[in-house]
Structure 1
Amino acid sequence: MKVLIIESDLRLCRHWVSRLRSERVDAEIHQTSELRGAFGAFQQLKPEVVLLDLQIGHGRGLELCRRIGDWSERTAVVVIGSKASDACAALDAGAVDFLVRPLEYERLEQALDKAAHLSAGLRTERLRVAETESPFEFVASRLHGELKIIPIREIRCFRAEDKYVTAVHRHGEDLIDEPLWRLEERFGAHHFVRVHRNGLVARQAIRSLRSSGRHRHTVILHDGQEMPVSRRHVAPLRRLLLDRLNGG
């Protein structure tokens, strides 16, 4: 296991590194105490686990946590903060665990084991999916310590509700970490069409477009599900259906 510790307190950072290296001989431990260069170190090392100080760079830990998550879905980030009330923000930013100072070493070890397990689980799932999918043809769902890889070909639609996005697929529904705009950026051109500010629908899952009144439209999926269509997306959706009828 490769671990990168990003901790602004250099003395504390050195203490953790020394103890982890002495007690976890199977682990490769690296450290940095400066925000500048931390992301570069992460990119170079490609660690399975990152221990991240929430206050690094005068409180820019959450920003770095999101950036790490955007760059690598296989890295598990454990955030360390001074207030338990910061836990929700850290988890929303993509952390798999949150530790409160003063830190007990036993709790640190538990968090490392959990993060390593999650990272290994995601790598295993990626290898399984990679047999039939390209590296960018899936999304990851991470909930209550469980990781799941969902191939894009199995997804019927994405629904955005509040701060969360739900992937509706052939086996059910799962919450995912990516915002709708990023999903559209990654997959929209080939796989999905925008039907509403809160919805993306798989092109192959669309059965028909139904109008009920002048400004009310609904897209019907092959499995019977329905999603509202906003006025600005009606014309592109009609063109898609016409192209399909014409063999385009």
Structure 2
Amino acid sequence: MVRVLAVDDEAPALGELLYLLRADPRVRSAEGAGDATEALRRIGRALEPGPGGGEGPGALDVVFLDIHMPGLGGLDLARVLGRFARPPLIVFVTAHEGFAVQAFDLEAVDYVLKPVRRERLAEAVRRVHDLVHATAPAPAPEQVPVELGGVTRFVPVDAIVYVEAHGDYARLHTDHGSHLVRIPLSVLEERWADRGFVRIHRSHLVALGRVDELRLDGGATSVRVGDAELAVSRRHARHLRDLLMRRTS
């Protein structure tokens, strides 16, 4: 079971969220705070050691956090919590779709849109519960929030085959479709270098483990990833060949 703090400056919204959380059998306790200052005060008390120096009785697993609040907003509060030695997990609950990228940068577990639906909130609680009770400590699988028709979905980075540049945007290609996100390709190249993504062209980033073929044709180099054939620039060709050869050695 998980211990929850919900933070929202609108009392009716906070009351409804707490009602739904307390009705979930995976939630051990759910308390509320009306602003970031009160939230930090409650979290500080929760971090005080219990008898014998162990975990305090009010220790928290997750904060369900509104974004727009007077004073310190939800994104700012999440940044503050991220500096803690053992920060709680974060789930954003907001009426605004446009902050999903910032939530992604802050490693939020989920991003739930208002009005909150019981089924959608239950999915967020499930994700938190699975992380809190994992048999071995492990980071949450990295996911990219994508928005389509008012719905925010989270695409696992491991499901992405290649990425295509679209100006300040990037199109993520998976085996089951593609998604446009407002993140420049250069940012993803740096962020995902240790996840096996390699720049092969000014317009493409590929998952090295998903490269099926390397083709040389009259001095031109290309790769096949899934159903796509992508050109490899001369600048990147040698480095890509070395990486592929190293993968098979």
In the other structure, the counterpart of 2:162 is: 157
Structure 1 residues 170 and 119: alpha-carbon distance in aligned structure 2, compared to 1, 3 A threshold: same
Displacement of 1:188 in angstroms is 2.6
Aligned-residue CA RMSD (Å):
5.1
Tell me, in whole angstroms, the C-alpha distance in 2 between the residues paired with 1:181 and 1:209: 25
Q: 1:187 to 1:17 in 2, by over 3 A?
A: closer
Query: What is the CA distance between 1:5 and its match in structure 2?
Result: 0.8
Correspondence 1:236 to 2:239: yes
Query: What is the DSSP-based 3-state SS (H/G/I as helix, E as strand, rest coil) of the residue aligned with 1:52?
Result: coil
- Which string of whole-angstrom CA distances, capped at 9 and with x for unpartnered residues, describes residues 191-210 of structure 1? 22122355321213331155
CA distance in 1, matches of 2:139, 2:236: 30
Percent of residue pairs identical: 21
The reply to whether residue 28 of structure 1 matches residue 30 of structure 2 is yes
1: distance between equivalents of 2:205 and 2:118? 36
Does residue 224 of structure 2 align to residue 221 of structure 1?
yes
Q: Conserved in 1, the CA contact under 8 Å of 2:168 and 2:183?
A: no
Q: Are the counterparts in 1 of residues 222 and 230 from structure 2 also a CA contact under 8 Å?
A: yes
Matched, 1:208 2:208: no
- Cα distance change of structure 1 residues 49 and 118 upon mapping to structure 2, 3 Å threshold: farther
AA matched with 1:237: L
Q: Normalising by structure 1, report the TM-score.
A: 0.55
Report the CA distance shift for 1:157/1:39 in structure 2 as closer, same or farther (over 3 A). Answer: farther
Amino acid at match of 2:242: R
Q: What is the CA–CA distance in structure 2 between the aligned matches of 1:22 and 1:137, rounded to whole Å? A: 29
2:84 corresponds to 1:89: no
In structure 2, runs of 5+ residues without a counterpart are 24-28, 48-58, 104-110
Amino acid at match of 2:193: G
After TM superposition, give the deviation of residue 28 of structure 1 in Å: 0.9
1:195 to 2:232 alignment: no
**d(CA) in 2 for partners of 1:218 and 1:54?**
53
Give the equivalent residue in structure 2 for 1:113: 118
TM-score (norm 2): 0.55
Corresponding residue number in structure 1 for 2:66: 51
- Give 1:142 shift: 4.9
CA change 1:22–1:135 in 2 (3 A) is closer
Q: 1:173 aligned to 2:178?
A: yes
Residues 169 and 96 of structure 1, relative CA distance in 2, 3 Å threshold: same
1:235, distance to aligned residue in structure 2 (A): 3.2
| Secondary structure, aligned partner of 1:236 | helix
Q: CA deviation at 1:119?
A: 1.0
